[in-house]
Amino acid sequence: DTEVTQTPKHLVMGMTNKKSLKCEQHMGHRAMYWYKQKAKKPPELMFVYSYEKLSINESVPSRFSPECPNSSLLNLHLHALQPEDSALYLCASSQVGTGKGGSPLHFGNGTRLTVT
Amino acid sequence: DAKTTQPNSMESNEEEPVHLPCNHSTISGTDYIHWYRQLPSQGPEYVIHGLTSNVNNRMASLAIAEDRKSSTLILHRATLRDAAVYYCILRDSGYALNFGKGTSLLVTP
């Protein structure tokens, strides 16, 4: 079990659907992250939120829309996805503040997304 | 981002120590050295991190070269559960944690 909870664990959606991925943590972390991982590849950073504000967007297509409604929750809204967007989507959280380069990230076990 | 170089794969026998190397010759003075591992069907798991000095925790030890251009993750006694992909990552004062290809560790009984 991890301290970062992601739901759902699996999701199948059509290219015209709208769906959302949810991530929750109660460790008091104020930085939250979305990563995308294709099979047999390393995770790729998508977005970082710090104090509920978007801090990093790694040039992710607009069909992926992140949202951080409060300090414990992170959502990823999906719309008009393509089959190549099928992947494992990972959420993570970490502390912020000085020396944050040394703050470990805590990952969830991901949502496995299949776009048909 | 400063880059790291790791072997694609390594193999170890169960109950023996494992030394996983990482080269990072372009490391800057403010880069932390992080290690994460990812077991099959799970998210990455934090293992250890350091800046300049060697570090120990319940999972592993991190040995950092004096010039910081390389480091070694040491698993003192490998178990089958340690079979995973191990990632060595440099992280500066920002938030980004960017994964490289990692080393796939195989542990044999």
Confidence of residue B48 (pLDDT cuts 50, 70, 90): very high
- Decide if B46 and A104 are in contact by the 8 Å CB cutoff: yes
CA–CA gap between residue B63 and residue A46 (Å, rounded): 31
Give the tens place of pLDDT for each residue, B59-82. Answer: 999 999 999 999 999 999 999 999
| A104:B49 CB<8 A | yes
Exposure of A70 by Cβ count < 10 A (0-12 exposed, 13-18 middle, 19+ buried)?
exposed
Are B95 and A44 inside 8 Å of each other by CB? no
**Residue A110, pLDDT score:** 98
pLDDT higher than threshold 90 for residue B89: yes
Beta-carbon pairs below 8 A across chains A and B: 62
Checking if the pLDDT of A86 tops 80, the result is yes
Antiparallel, parallel or unpaired: β B55-56 and B103-108: unpaired
Separation of alpha carbons A53 and A48, rounded Å: 8
| pLDDT band, residue A13 (cuts 50/70/90) | very high
Q: Is B29 on the interface with A (CB under 8 A)?
A: no
Buried b (16+ CB within 10 A) or exposed e, B9-48: ebebeeeeebebebbbeebeeebbbbbbbbeeebbbbbbb
For residue A26, is pLDDT > 90?
yes
Q: Look at A109 and B87 and tell me if their CB atoms are within 8 Å.
A: no
**Other residues' Cβ atoms within 10 Å of the Cβ of residue B55:** 17
For range A5-16, the mean pLDDT: 96
Q: Is the pLDDT of residue A1 over 60?
A: no
Query: What number of other Cβ atoms are within 10 A of residue B99's Cβ?
Result: 21
Before B17, cis peptide (omega within 30)? no
For residue A94, pLDDT over 90 is answered with yes
- Angle formed at CA B46 by CA B45 and CA B49, multiple of 5 degrees: 160
What is the per-residue pLDDT for B93? 77
Instruction: Please state the rounded mean pLDDT for residues B24-43.
Output: 94
User: For residue A105, what is the nearest residue in chain B, using CA coordinates?
Assistant: B46
Q: Pairing state of beta strands A44-50 and A31-37?
A: antiparallel
- List chain A residues with CB under 8 Å of B99: 42-44
